[in-house]
Structure formats: structure tokens, C-alpha cells
Amino acid sequence: MLRVLMSSLRSCKVNVVCARLIFAVSSVALALVTGCGGGSSVTTPPVVLTVSIPSGTVVLPQDGTAANLSVTIVAPTESVTLSVTGLPAGVTQRYKASESNPSGQLTLSASAATPAGSYTPVVTINSSGHTATTTITLVVAVVAKVGNSVDTTLGVNGRLKQFMATSFQVAEWAGDFFGTGVTATNRENTLTALRTQHVRLQGLSQAIPMKGNAGLASDWDFTLLDQTVQPVLEAADHSPEFQVAVAPAWMCDSNGHLQVATHLNDFAAYSANLVRYYNKGGFDWGGKHFQSASAHPITWWGIFNEYNINGVSAQDYVKIYNAAVPAMLAVDPTIKLSALEFSDFGLGSGDAGDPMQHLPTFLAPAGSGGVTAQVDIISTHFYSSCNQSDSDQSLFNSIPQFVSNVQYFYAELGKRADLAGMPVWVTENNVNADYNNNGTSACNPGHAFVTDKRGTSAFFAAWRPYVFAELGKAGNQALYHWAYAADQQYGEVDGNSNTFLSYWVDETLTQLYPTAPTDPALEILKLDATESSSVATLATRNADGQVVVMLVDRAVHAASDNNASGDPRTVIVDLSGLGSFSAASQIVLDASTSAASGPLPVFLPPASRMTVKLNGYGVAFLVLKP
């Protein structure tokens, strides 16, 4: 470049002053003289225009609390305009430049109308016809404000009385889960560590102990049944609920349905002998004595399983209950009884799973055909689906329907003075009720059965706590998992007692919400959340002042998602109304939680406003100690 310039100078005979000016120009050039008569070409320096905002995520609470962002602008003039695009609906923006230059402060604020979630708005500046941009990572956060008073409209007069439990189906296909020796001890210990109450036992098929009615010792065989019942009696709270699920085969028709007209009293006598066997030193039959090996009696008993989809009418169920219960109480007047064990779906639909078609019959006045025998609890069953292809969103949408059904149960119980206020228990609950029927779907004949892994995936870590919170607030008093030892659709543990994520979800619920008979009831605190469409909440306080705030991320990413990961959510918990706490910790269950060892608490400094981040489907528990 320098040679070119010198050659040009010689040819033009430029004077010394001109030469000095040219040599002052950098060798990479701003000028090239092309003629000595005054013609030259000069490249204009580029306009320097930049905008920057300190990197990091901007959290914008839905309660209107503003976020102030420092904006640094470099521009050739102070005449600069700033705009922000890509903000979610309901977010307001305001920019104020400093007095000496275009840099300044951008203020953003959201409201409850702004959808929670993550966004990437773009900040654009314009100056003298030029533009520059930068992107913000913006998170709109739900705000959950916990009050200091009890919400008496929720639970049982403002108290959470719901305990967690689990279940076993006992039959030849279930196998000998517990085994013997050290294996049995270890598996009993794993069940005990779940802290479950009143484990539900449902014997079917070859596990029904009465095989015939010939007056022979071979008429009874408890071997298969007791492979599960005896270990359960030695585990957990030693107080299972035994469900007399079906009648022995010799009392049933070819479809396996109890013939009420001819075998009602036989079923009552059979039920009474079960009570004798487990509670009263046994019974003699065909010259043989039959007696439970355990010293623990069985207090809780359920009469029939899902009669409404198993060939029994509402009227006949009343007859069965009114016959069996007095016979059982005559053996042991201390036992407690669970009625209905209802297959519950389609409130108001008019079909077999509609409780409106059954409760009025069972709960009619005693003199008008209703139940006359002792009832201690009334039970129902809830599943979110019977089709693996149903979306995540549709499964979440089923939970408010569970609540409506529980409310209906309490409303019907309230029509009888002797039954008003009786506890409602949900004695079966899981994501999907379908099962494998020789390779095909039992619920959708002609379709191949597909295991719904949402029963043990991160989806469950959002779904079950959501169910627990909503049913507990509706006054439900027991929530039973179906079933303990099963596959990825149903289980808390697998066939070798290896724990699934579902085990730890239920164990954590039991740990944080203790509701054994000796535990004082937990207070349900008032809680106002700015959004409930993707986040579920529950705040409770126990007798020593400990507060637990449950935050469930049930944010579905796309309407068609099926066992997906969900969308992240950030929740700001406002504890300012509760005073100070000495310690705080957080427990999270989600896709990152070890299914083998469960969650670990993370200790946090307590504050009046605490931020909880969930990375997708899952639940966080904020535990605050006074």
C-alpha cells in the first residue's frame, strides 16, 4: 500500500504538505489518492452502536413486583429509541435513559394474567437509522403467598387428615413376593420404611382360601393368601385392611359373580370365618383347625371390590353388606368396616361407574332399603385413564373430577344423620387402570396392551402430589396406591423389591404429612397463588410450628405430550405473613431423583421470600422450622 501511495505522489508531483497528510494515513487505509486535480475517495468509519444488559435470567413475579435492568448503550448520538419485543401478554415495560447518555434502566413488571414460563424477548435500539439488539432470558414466576391463618373451608374443618397407604393383590400371578429368611426380612423392612398405614390386601382367584363346601379339610387352604398376608402383618403398622374382594367360586355363576339369591348367607358365613381365622384363634373344619400364625389381628375389613363393574346391582350390594357385616361383628365386635370399594368414574354420566347411580341406594334411609349394618368408612377408587394413549394433559385434567366425586360422597353422607361426617377413603389410586389381557388391552379390546410408564416416571412425581393435595383439601382421609409390588405402570417396587421413583414420592408424602391416629392433625394454611393452571400448591403447619409448602410443577409443554418431561416453573413463596424461621430445607422429586436412594434435602437460608425452581414435571417441598 505504501508503494502505491508513493508512486501516486510522484506522478502527481504533490507538494510536501500534501505528502505529509498522506503519510499520516494508516497503511490499512482510509484514503487512496487517484488524481492530482483534487479527486480523492475516503471510506466513512462505521457507526458504533451497541446495547448490552448484564447476562443472567431475569425473574419476573406475577404479583407485579418490578424487575429493573441496567441497559448500557454506546451510540454516536444521544437520540436513541429502545423497544422490547417478544414479551408475554400482560408484561409492561418502561425505559428511562440517564441524563448524560442514552444508557439507562429498563423496568418490566408482570401480573397474574401473565402466563408463567420462560421467554426470550429481544431488546432493540435505534439511532440515526441504525439498529442493535440483545436478548433477555426472562422467567415469569408464580407467586404463592402463605397466610398465617387456617383455611377452615378446606380439609376436615381446616385440618389435613389424609394418610398414605399401599396395596397388594394376592393371586397366583402375583407370586410369592416376600419369600423367606433374609429376603423376607429385607422386603418387609422396605415396606415398613414406606411408613404406610393399613396396607390393603385383596385376595383373588387361587388366593381365595375357601375352595369348596363339602365339609372336608380340603375345603380351605390359606397357603397362597398367607404368603402375602403374614409378612404384611409383621410389617408397617401391623394393621392391614383385608378386603373380602369376591366370593368363593362355588358361590358364583359361570361369570364369577356371587349368586345373591342362593348364596347370600353362605357368603356371610365365609366372611365370618375369615375374621375367626385372623382374629379369634381360628376355626375347625373337616376335622382340621385353621388359624393365622400371626399374633396381630386384622381390624379393618372391606366388603367386596368394585361390585358395580362385577355383576352386582346396587340393591344386591346393600343385601350383601347388611348380611356379611353383622356376621363378622358377631365374631369380633371391635372390627371396622369399609363399604362400597367403588369403581368410580363418570360422575353424572349415568353409566356403571357413576356414583350417582349407586350411593342414593346404599345411603337411603334404613327403613327404605338403605344400609342398616355398621359402616366406619366409605371407599372409592380413582384412576386418571384406562388408555395409555391419553395425553399428559388429559390425565392432569382428571384430578378435579376426583375432587368433585369426593365432594359428592360427603354430600350424600350428609343426608343421613347417622352417617354424616363419616370419612371417605380412596382405596385405589394410580395413573392408568388398564392391564394386560393376554397381550391385549383389557380396557380397549383389539388393541395391543402397552405399559404406561407414567406410573413410575417423573410424570408421577407431579401427578401423585397433585392428587394428594387436591383430595386432602377436599376432605379425603386416606389415599391408597395401587399396587405396591408391580411393574412400571403400577408399582412402588418391582418384583425384586427394587424401588421405583413412585416409592419415594409416596414415602416423602408420608414423611412430611404424618397422619397416624396418634399424630395431631395438620392445619391447612391459607395460600393465595397467582396461577394454578400449571402449578399446584398446599401449605400445612404441624403442632410444633413446622410449615411445609408443597409446589407441584404440572406444566405440560405440548397438548399431545405423553410421558414427556414438562415445562420448567419458578415459584416465589411469600412467607412474610408467617414471621421468622430458624431453618429451611428443600426436597425435590423429579426426573433427576435417584429411584434407588430417593431425594436428598438441600438446606437453605430462610427468608421472607424464597424462590423454588422446578425443571419440569415434579414436586418441591419447602420445609420451614420455627
DSSP symbols for 600-617: --EEE---SEEEEEE-SS
525 grid coordinates: 394454611
160 and 130 belong to one structural domain: no
Cell 407467586, residue located: 143
The dihedral region occupied by 550, where left means phi > 0, alpha psi between -120 and 50, and beta the remainder, is beta
Other C-beta atoms closer than 10 Å to the C-beta of 22 total 18
354 and 304 Cβ atoms separated by less than 8 Å: no
Cell of 319: 343385601
Q: Look at residue 398 in the predicted model and tell me its pLDDT.
A: 98
Please tell me the predicted confidence (pLDDT) of residue 214: 98
| Contact between 267 and 322 (Cβ < 8 Å) | no
Kindly state whether residues 23 and 78 are assigned to the same domain: no
What's the pLDDT at 516? 84
- In the block, residue with C-alpha cell 376355626: 283
Using the 3D structure, point to which of 465, 499, 520 is the last residue of a domain.
520
pTM of the model: 0.92
Looking at the structure, do residues 237 and 364 belong to the same domain, yes or no? Answer: yes
Do residues 14 and 78 share a domain? no
* pLDDT (0 to 100) of residue 521: 81
Q: Which residues in the chain land under pLDDT 50? A: 1-37
Task: Answer yes or no: do 350 and 478 share one domain.
Answer: yes
pLDDT value at position 42?
61
**Based on the domain organization, do 205 and 109 belong to the same domain?**
no
* Residue-by-residue DSSP string for 66-135: -EEEEEEEE-SSS--EEEEESPPTT-EEEEEE-SSSS-EEEEEE--TTSPPEEE--EEEEEETTEEEEEE
Taking the CA atoms of 459, 424, 200 and 519 in sequence, report the sign of the dihedral they define.
Answer: positive
> What's the CATH number where 571 sits?
2.60.40.1180
- Same-domain check for residues 545 and 503: no
Cα–Cα distances in angstroms (integers) from residue 322 to residues 247, 265, 269, 515, in the given order? 15, 11, 13, 31
| Residue 317: strand pairing partners | none
How many domains are there within the chain?
4
13 and 75, same domain (yes or no): no
Please tell me the distance from the alpha carbon of residue 578 to that of residue 546, in angstroms, as a whole number.
Answer: 11
Are residues 511 and 549 located together in one domain of the fold?
no
> 3-state DSSP call for residue 586?
strand
Spatial distance between the Cα atoms of 191 and 184, rounded to a whole number of angstroms: 11
State residue 33's pLDDT score.
38
Domain finish residue from 490, 520, 550: 520
pLDDT given at position 561: 98
> What pLDDT, on a 0 to 100 scale, did the predictor assign at position 520?
83
Are 177 and 216 in the same domain?
yes
User: The domain that contains 57 carries what CATH number?
Assistant: 2.60.40
User: For residue 186, what are the domain limits?
Assistant: 152-520
CB contact set of 360 (below 8 Å; sequence gap of 6+): 412
Residues 211 and 347 in one domain: yes
Domain stop point among 82, 104, 135? 135
Question: Cβ neighbours of residue 6 under 8 Å, at least 6 residues apart?
Answer: none
Residues 418, 295 share a domain = yes
